[in-house]
Amino acid sequence: MARVEFLNGLQPTHDLTYSDVFMVPSHSDVGSRLDVDLTTPDRLGTSIPLVVSNMTAVTGRRMAETTARRGAIAILPQDVPLPAITSTIARVKAADSLYESPITIEPGAPVAQFLSLVGKRAHGVAVVVEAGRPVGIIAERDCVEIDRYAAVGRVMSRDVLTVEAGVDVHHVFDTMALHHLDTVPVVSDGLLVGILTRRGILRSTIYRPAVDAAGKLMVGTAVGINGDASDKANAVLRAGADVLVVDTAHGHQSRMLDALTLVVAARDEHAREHGIRVPIVAGNVVAADGARDLVSAGADIVKVGVGPGAMCTTRMMTGVGRPQFSAVLECAEAAKDLGGAVWADGGVKYPRDVALALAAGAASVMIGSWFAGTYEAPGDLHRDGDGSLYKESFGMASSRAVRNRTRDASAFDRARSALFEEGISSSRMYLAPERPGVEDLIDQIISGVRSSFTYAGAATIGEFHSRAVIGLQSTAGYDEGRPRHTSW
């Protein structure tokens, strides 16, 4: 396996973060960003190399469904009760891979109910339905200076243009442009089946959904190492999970290897019965020995990263961790030698970081807090004193997460667990006005990544890893590359 090339043959003498490195352009025969194939070189094979982290404040049904429609996959957190996980998997699988899921409301519902729902989706409208049929559209602008107890039916727009399911989306786009519409309901035999937006139609021509063998949207589930990992693995496999993530902060330990063995056995039994082999991810580790041990124990993919996350205080609390670029570089080489792959987990703040993680050898890059400040994140939408929108995020080792995880324990055990919290319990994640939806952020990230590939002359992720030429830079060198007069 080709190791990533450093500029002028220089070998680093210390570990590196993404900010410590840059990529040098190489001769390229890749003529367009759209000529790049971002299918991931792991056993999952999603069409873009993004994984939404299994964080309670980040991943739920809306996030999983929306990101899968654009080619990524989201991992449901292990702290969520099992009935809620199986229900969420079922609802993601039931979602259409082209038509977006609408917010629906009945004409007699109060405006206040609509306003509580509208922040759940980026398209900013609700379809008013009676007996499953669309009878109106309501947007926030319709509710200005309207009594919050007024019925939706009094303020909705009744002039609703609908399109029939199966109609060519290019024709739908032209029709919407002609009528100056951003959103149209999609119906089948008069019943609402979804909505289309103009931007969503454009995206459907650029992205390929992440779907299973039956054409259903993909979704993953995290399994912790405590409790009966085998029982939970069996339950989520039966529910239709497309990947299992055996997850703990310190993945290079005996309890992880024991749990991983149980999950692998459950997966293999499921494969024998149903003919579907679900990939298993395990982590987190930051060194070659950890990656090798997890792959040898049955993991198809190793999750790499200790301490780089925005909500994580592990390095400050314990001194444990490793700069992420070097961690990914070393673990990817070790895993690939044994036929495995790695996911880079944490430390990404800009599209460049995602590209550099792929250059270091990652098959996919996990994103957590970056996506917490979007409409699709599970949290409630709030406004601060200046009117800016935000959602709350928190670390998975924080006191808030520990309380959720130990809710069934005794009062004494819960209180004792709270003494060992790590991570931030509450942080405001503001929605960027220009990119408030997760699809907006995916557009930004994937645009940057595709451009990086063209600079390297790489048409695939595998080629990118072998062709990328990496240089080292000072803090001043990093600052020189930052644009002026922007939030970056």
pLDDT of 406 > 60? The answer is no
Express each pLDDT in 357-404 by its tens digit.
999 999 999 999 999 999 999 988 888 888 888 888 765 455 555 556
pLDDT of 1 > 50? The answer is no
Instruction: List, as one string, the DSSP characters of 160-172.
Output: ---EETTS-HHHH
What is the average pLDDT across 140-165?
93
**How far is the C-alpha of 419 from the C-alpha of 282, rounded, in Å?**
27
pLDDT of 328 > 90? The answer is yes
Tell me the torsion sign for CA atoms 116, 119, 121, 122.
positive
pLDDT of 244 > 50? The answer is yes
Express each pLDDT in 470-484 by its tens digit.
999 999 999 999 887
Half-sphere exposure of 149 (CA within 13 A, CB side): 0
Look up tokens 């494969």; give the residue.
Answer: 271
The 104-105 sheet, strands edge to edge: 104-105, 125-130, 133-139
- Average pLDDT of the chain to the nearest whole number: 92
Q: Among the options 312, 367, 431, 441, which is catalytic? A: 312
pLDDT of 422 > 80? The answer is no
What is the average pLDDT across 69-90?
96
The 163-164 sheet, strands edge to edge: 163-164, 183-188, 191-197
- Supply the pLDDT for residue 36: 97
* Token pair belonging to 227: 């409790």
- Supply the pLDDT for residue 445: 98
- Supply the pLDDT for residue 397: 52
| DSSP helix/strand/coil, 18 | helix
pLDDT bin (cut points 50, 70, 90) of residue 412 is: confident
**How far is the C-alpha of 88 from the C-alpha of 76, rounded, in Å?**
9
Q: Which of 36-50, 197-211, 251-265, 389-403 has the lowest mean pLDDT?
A: 389-403
What is the average pLDDT across 406-413?
70
What is the average pLDDT across 108-124?
91
Between 70 and 13, the more confident residue is 70
Q: Which of 301-305, 346-350, 413-417, 457-461 has the lowest mean pLDDT?
A: 413-417
Let me know: does 303 contact 345? Beta carbons within 8 Å.
Answer: yes
- What are the φ/ψ torsions at residue 163 (nearest 5 degrees)? -125, 150
312 counts as catalytic = yes
